[in-house]
Amino acid sequence: MKIAVVGSGYVGLVAGACLAESGNDVFCVDKDGPKIRGLQRGRIPIYEPGLEELVRRNRVEGRLRFTTNLARAVRASEIIFIAVGTPMGEDGSADLQHVLGVAREVARAMNGYKVIVNKSTVPVGTAERVRKIVRRETTHPFSVVSNPEFLKQGAAIEDFMKPDRVVIGAEDPRASELMQELYAPFTRTGAPIMVMDCPSAELSKYAANAMLATRVSFMNEVANVCDAVQANVDHVRMAVAADRRIGPSFLFPGAGYGGSCFPKDVKALLGFSREHQYDFQILRAVEAVNEAQKARLLLKLEAHFGSLKGRHVGVWGLAFKPKTDDMREAPAITVIHGLLARGARVRAFDPEAQKVARGIFGARIAYADSAYDALTGVDALVIMTEWNEFRRPDFARMKRLMRTPVVVDGRNIYEPERIRAAGFTYYSVGRP
């Protein structure tokens, strides 16, 4: 099939590369000229395992092209994905100006029947708004489809190529058949293609992320109770996860959730629920718990040291999760801002997010060249991201480098008995 993907950010680039990998001819479109020129030269603007190789292979084989010429891509394609950003507005709602602007440009460039697909995460009713805009700008026939993405950063290629499900919101059979044909190669192992109305498809993405965020905040609350009563959250978690109605996923306590999806989607779902006069009380609590959870590591440090003024603190991990350089809403940002506000000095390391961190903190913190380099002379280490390289460190070397061997583990990656036996004062989340 001939496909255009408008927007070459995280979702658009992954979708374009994966669709090309399955044999389609794909134009990836972006108005950012330097980004497109970089992609044409093989430079990938984001870190995502496997993406660079996928883009390189499909560029070489001629199935994947990058352009700033949206009109040309639209005229050459039968399916056009809109995959531009929907950043949070000041009130927490999704800002649709880019989505609606692209829809207008697509309509003006159309030269025949097109399927216009909302791939961006958008609130309920966006498909109808796009439909009205396109109808005003063209006399050509078209269909508008909602096709939300369910990609996990760090595993996006696998998620796209082998999805749990494909959700298609389509109002007419012609568009539905084209979309099912497009996704058939990705669902050969039996993953369902779920065809539904557009509002249900639009809501499904928010509902899924809100449920996952709820599990995270719920388990953090359980961990905080464990701290209060000297119970062990690992034991509680395993007992809960053994219930087949619940299962083990997203029941790991820690420093809170972050990233490009959960915070934004929780706020957006709260926002458009309010617009329809519904108070989503559970979700308000999920958000409040998450914000409070990020600060609990600071409370543990203050309980140990008293004042943090003049203390040197090492931070392992800046990205909101491993296998990405994304720091949007990362708990590390809250913790580092809190440390700085309390007069501490921070020396941080992350395998991928150092460049992003420099754009956030500038010269207010120091940036280490390695995990061990971040420990030299520090009074404490705070672990914010569970990168694999942090999981089996040389404890003896760590202790030699640190001024005082104090570890605050925001991701519970160490066995308390083992690290304490190595001579560390160790604080984790929900474990005595």
At 10, which CATH number? 3.40.50.720
Residues 255 and 119 in one domain: no
Mark whether 364 and 307 lie in a shared domain.
yes
Last residue of a domain, one of 171, 196, 221: 196
Q: Are residues 264 and 413 in the same domain?
A: yes
How high is the pLDDT of residue 211? 97
CA atoms of 317 and 250, how far apart (whole Å): 19
Q: Give the pLDDT of residue 203.
A: 96
> What is the rounded average pLDDT of the residues 414-420?
96
Which range marks the domain in which residue 155 is found? 2-196
Residues 312 and 268 in one domain: yes
Whether residues 139 and 95 share a domain: the answer is: yes
Task: Place 392 in a pLDDT band, splitting at 50, 70 and 90.
Answer: very high
Residues 6+ apart with CB under 8 A from 207: 269
Q: Is residue 53 part of a domain?
A: yes
Could you tell me if residue 211 is inside a domain? no
Mean pLDDT score of the chain = 96
Show the 3-state SS of the chain. CEEEEECCCHHHHHHHHHHHHCCCEEEEECCCHHHHHHHHCCCCCCCCCCHHHHHHHHHHCCCEEEECCHHHHHHCCCEEEECCCCCECCCCCECCHHHHHHHHHHHHHCCCCEEEEECCCCCCCHHHHHHHHHHHHCCCCEEEEECCCCCCCCCHHHHHHCCCCEEEEECCHHHHHHHHHHHHHHCCCCCCEEEECHHHHHHHHHHHHHHHHHHHHHHHHHHHHHHHHCCCHHHHHHHHHCCCCCCCCCCCCCCCCCCCCHHHHHHHHHHHHHHCCCCCHHHHHHHHHHHHHHHHHHHHHHHHHCCCCCCEEEEECCCCCCCCCCCCCCHHHHHHHHHHHCCCEEEEECCCCHHHHHHHHHHHCEECCCCCHHHCCCCEEEECCCCHHHCCCCHHHHHHHCCCCEEEECCCCCCHHHHHHCCCEEECCCCC
Q: Show the tokens assigned to 218.
A: 């719920």
How many Å apart are CA 8 and CA 29, to the nearest integer? 6
pLDDT of the residue at 406: 98
pLDDT at 89: 76
Tell me the pLDDT tens digit for each residue of 155-179. 999 999 999 999 999 989 999 999 9
**Between 233-241 and 198-229, two packed helices, what is the crossing angle to 10 degrees?**
140
Residues 332 and 186 in one domain: no
Number of domains in the chain: 2
Residue 236 within a domain: yes
pLDDT-based confidence at residue 114 (cuts at 50, 70, 90): very high
**261 catalytic, yes or no?**
yes
pLDDT at 421 over 80: yes
- The pLDDT of residue 432: 87
pLDDT of 68 > 80? The answer is yes
Residue 214 lies in a domain: no
In a shared domain, residues 274 and 348: yes
Q: Is 206 a member of any domain?
A: no
pLDDT of residue 429: 97
Question: pLDDT of 290-339, one tens digit each?
Answer: 999 999 999 999 999 999 999 999 999 999 999 999 999 999 999 999 99
Please tell me whether residues 192 and 235 are part of one structural domain: no
Four-residue CA torsion sign, 153, 159, 165, 168 = positive
- Among 143, 175, 196, the domain boundary falls at 196
Q: How far from the centroid of its chain's Cα atoms is residue 263's Cα?
A: 9
Residue 287: per-residue pLDDT: 96
Contact partners, residue 282, CB within 8 Å, separation at least 6: 214
pLDDT of residue 407: 98
240-287 tens-digit pLDDT:
999 999 999 999 999 999 998 899 999 999 998 999 999 999 999 999
Check pLDDT > 90 for residue 58: yes
